[in-house]
């Protein structure tokens, strides 16, 4: 039986892991190479590395950092942030990434999903969606781009469905309303997307108590949970998290 995945996320800025609340007020959380290696050894199921500055100015630095992190990570490794073309995905895959997540570029040019899936296979193309509840639209969710700074009119659920057709193999779904608050994932949003697509959905944003992880896997129908603060600041270890979920009957790799 396929297990539910527990995925620590490294939000990287200026070669350091940082974590904010609702995408702002960033604080330092450590060295990405050290944290990546630790999570891999401690039994995390995957690792996500997001270049949150989407550094157009120093793409080379990011590639070098990805290489260093990957050298000590023996679990699937996803890299995202500022990726705009299939060629860039090719470069990151050669540098040690196993999957790449695309956000803004896919909104601007959905064809990049199709082209990347054709070249590298759908299994390494992750569509990242930053979604925010829009009260003017009966509480539906709209897609935000450029690290959450720009709101679009695109409906998050519809976008997920379209991305699957284009070739995305997975969806990394972040609730901007919940991100960094540690008040629990947006279960409604996660479930709406998970029920609309046939590809795995990784729930992100809002990890707090272990119950909140359980809830989004159970009620939210997520295939995986992504969390940052609770692991970086040592609130819970990966093992504690998995033991808790196993105790609730969730299939996990122990």
Please enumerate in sequence order all residues whose Cβ is within 8 A of that of 109, keeping only pairs 6 or more positions apart, or say none: none
Question: Residue 57 or 198: which CB sits closer to other proteins?
Answer: 198
Q: How far is the CB of 53 from other proteins (least distance, A)?
A: 24
Q: How far apart are CA 238 and CA 253, in angstroms?
A: 11
Tell how strand 99-102 and strand 170-175 pair up.
Answer: unpaired
Q: How far apart are CA 198 and CA 253, in angstroms?
A: 23
**Quick check: 194 and 200 in contact, CB under 8 A?**
no
Question: Residue 50 or 199: which CB sits closer to other proteins?
Answer: 199
Question: Residue 92 or 131: which CB sits closer to other proteins?
Answer: 92
The structure tokens 């590639």 sit at 63
**Quick check: 83 and 105 in contact, CB under 8 A?**
yes
Residue 215 annotated to the active site: no
Q: How far is the CB of 254 from other proteins (least distance, A)?
A: 9
Q: How far is the CB of 106 from other proteins (least distance, A)?
A: 18
DSSP string, 186-212: -HHHHHHHHHH-SS-EEEES---SHHH
Q: How far apart are CA 154 and CA 135, in angstroms?
A: 14
The structure tokens 């969390």 sit at 227
Q: How far is the CB of 23 from other proteins (least distance, A)?
A: 27
Tokens of 217: 């896997």
Catalytic member of 11, 51, 186, 215: 11
Q: Which residues bind other proteins (CB under 8 A)?
A: 1-5, 40, 43, 45, 67, 70-72, 74-77, 93-96, 98-99, 118-124, 169-170, 198-200, 223-224, 253
Question: Residue 137 or 165: which CB sits closer to other proteins?
Answer: 165
Q: How far is the CB of 200 from other proteins (least distance, A)?
A: 5
Question: Residue 78 or 229: which CB sits closer to other proteins?
Answer: 78
Residue 14 annotated to the active site: no
- For 80-140, give the secondary structure using H, E and C: ECCCCCHHHHHHHHHCCCCEEEECHHHHHCCHHHHHHHHHHCHHHEEEEEEEEEEHHHCCE
Catalytic member of 14, 28, 31, 130: 130
Active-site residues, by number, are: 11, 130
């Amino acid at each position: 039986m396929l297990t539910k995945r527990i995925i620590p996320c490294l939000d990287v800025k200026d070669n350091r892991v940082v974590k904010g609340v609702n995408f702002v007020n960033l604080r330092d959380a450590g060295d990405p190479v050290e944290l990546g290696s630790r999570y891999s050894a401690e039994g995390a199921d995957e690792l996500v590395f997001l270049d949150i500055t989407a550094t157009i100015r120093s793409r080379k630095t990011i590639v070098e950092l990805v290489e260093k992190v990957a050298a000590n990570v023996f679990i699937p490794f996803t890299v995202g942030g500022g990726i705009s073309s299939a060629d860039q995905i090719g470069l990151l895959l050669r540098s040690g990434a196993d999957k790449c997540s695309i956000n803004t570029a896919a909104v601007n040019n959905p064809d990049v999903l199709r082209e990347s899936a054709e070249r590298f296979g759908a299994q390494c193309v992750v569509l990242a969606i930053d979604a925010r509840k829009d009260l003017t639209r009966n509480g539906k969710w709209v897609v935000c781009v450029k690290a959450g700074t720009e709101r679009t009119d695109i409906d998050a659920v519809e976008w997920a469905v379209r991305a699957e057709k284009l070739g995305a193999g997975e969806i990394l779904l972040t609730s901007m309303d919940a991100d960094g608050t540690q008040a629990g994932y947006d279960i409604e949003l996660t479930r709406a997307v998970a029920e609309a697509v046939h590809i795995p959905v990784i729930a992100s944003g809002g990890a707090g108590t272990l119950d909140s992880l359980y809830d989004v896997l159970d009620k939210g129908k997520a295939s995986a949970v992504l969390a940052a603060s609770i692991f970086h600041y040592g609130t819970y270890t990966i093992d504690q998290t998995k033991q808790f979920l196993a105790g609730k009957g969730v299939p996990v790799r122990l």
